[in-house]
Structure 1
């Protein structure tokens, strides 16, 4: 396998770059450089008024990270971060894009959806406490150490950006190859939710929950080499 381009990793809603702890370790074991981006208002990212942050702002964060790298990266985005990565990739400059159960783009905007300024927390996604031993519903395939990282990554999220996704982020054809990875245990974003995906993509299934796609070391032992093999073919 030839040398891989660098990877740029984009976290999901209400969490931070810490979710990529094991992805970065797995990529490093294969000799691949990986940067994990903290979007504005998340983790160690720039301070921001999350109440008035939209998806285009997150896409701008990804674009700035691409520019800092100085070479076209492989964008890997999870959940909301997958959509932010797609938005950034649509503007060029990416070697390839990988969406891990990404929030989906739309074919048209729905003007009836209200766009409400505000902030919410991870409870909106079913995480109502920070006890790692009480996360079986949302993180069924994560061990205790993996759950601790997931919980440590949590933080506030923009309601406006969430409404923005509900209204529909319209994207045309990407100028780079796209791989969509779905988890067979993912009840939030199963394969069926991508039936109307308006983009051409390759597909890969992994034995993982939504959180397992980023933090299950068992899953990553097979998933990361599979993604690297796909990148090598493109």
Structure 2
């Protein structure tokens, strides 16, 4: 099996906060020292960790962006915790801690890039924490989006105290090879049942409500699209936070990060970041939102 996490470029890491969150720091090539260029904070989804960004990070480094990859409490190399007690709000505190560290170090707030559960966490965080931009990659949906485009024939199941990691027994998917799947299988871990009960409609949640009027930063929403409802949910999320939208048809949820077409999402994000940077240096130009 090819372990992409072991192929990542040289980087540094440190533990932050009282509960020892594992933060990995990847320094970009030329361009990362530009005063107007914010760093990037990558927020992983459920069951995963910073390793899930292994294919992404080198591209952003090559484009000159400094990247910080947080591991939420109990994930990957962060200190082990009792997952029966971890809540959605605990994860929000973890991201706040990471942003505080980044602002102290860089003197500017980061662009936050959130995947799946990390996406709904990042949306909620953006209501109250200053960030330079918000990128959502196949984000878990908010209560407002579910009200507009509900999941059909959903049979919610209540999560236990912890949710076991997905087995990933399949041999391939629409955009993932067996090697891609095996890589994930090696690192996937359990997840907090309380967190799932807060945001996941598949586990009977009421959902997380997003106060869109409080989100003022530029945004980009990328969705894996395999049917019209997927597309409608992605567009509804983009409308809610006033962002640009890209639907990638024929891709899968995890494939957007580690599959064979991940570069399509990466290229679009890098282009969006370039426009964000250009607009920030020219105040008379509109920000890249819609």
What's the TM-score bracket when you normalise by the shorter of the two chains? 0.7 to 0.9
Q: 2:232 aligns with which of 176, 185, 192?
A: 192
Q: Distance in 2 between matches of 1:62 and 1:14?
A: 16
Q: Any stretches of 5+ residues in structure 2 without a counterpart?
A: 1-30, 148-155, 200-204, 277-290
**Distance of aligned partners of 1:46 and 1:176 in 2 relative to their CA distance in 1, 3 Å threshold:** farther
Deviation per residue, 1:192-223 (Å, 9 max, x gap): 3346544322101235211111112x423332
What residue is the counterpart of 1:97 in the other structure?
134
2:216 corresponds to 1:175? yes
Deviation per residue, 1:134-157 (Å, 9 max, x gap): 342xx4312343223222230000
Higher mean displacement: 140-149 or 79-88: 140-149
Structure number with the bigger relative contact order (C-alpha 8 A, sep ≥ 6) is 1
- After TM superposition, the structure 1 = structure 2 runs for residues 63-82 of structure 1, keeping only pairs within 5 Å, are 63-70=96-103, 71-82=108-119
* SS of corresponding position for 1:36: strand
What residue is the counterpart of 2:274 in the other structure?
232
Deviation per residue, 1:11-65 (Å, 9 max, x gap): 1111221110011112112121112111111111232221121211111111111
2:158 corresponds to 1:118? no
> TM-score, normalised on structure 2?
0.68
Q: Distance in 1 between matches of 2:158 and 2:130?
A: 30
| Segments of 4+ moved more than 6 angstroms | 113-117
What residue is the counterpart of 2:202 in the other structure?
none
* SS of corresponding position for 1:52: coil
Q: Distance in 2 between matches of 1:153 and 1:161?
A: 20
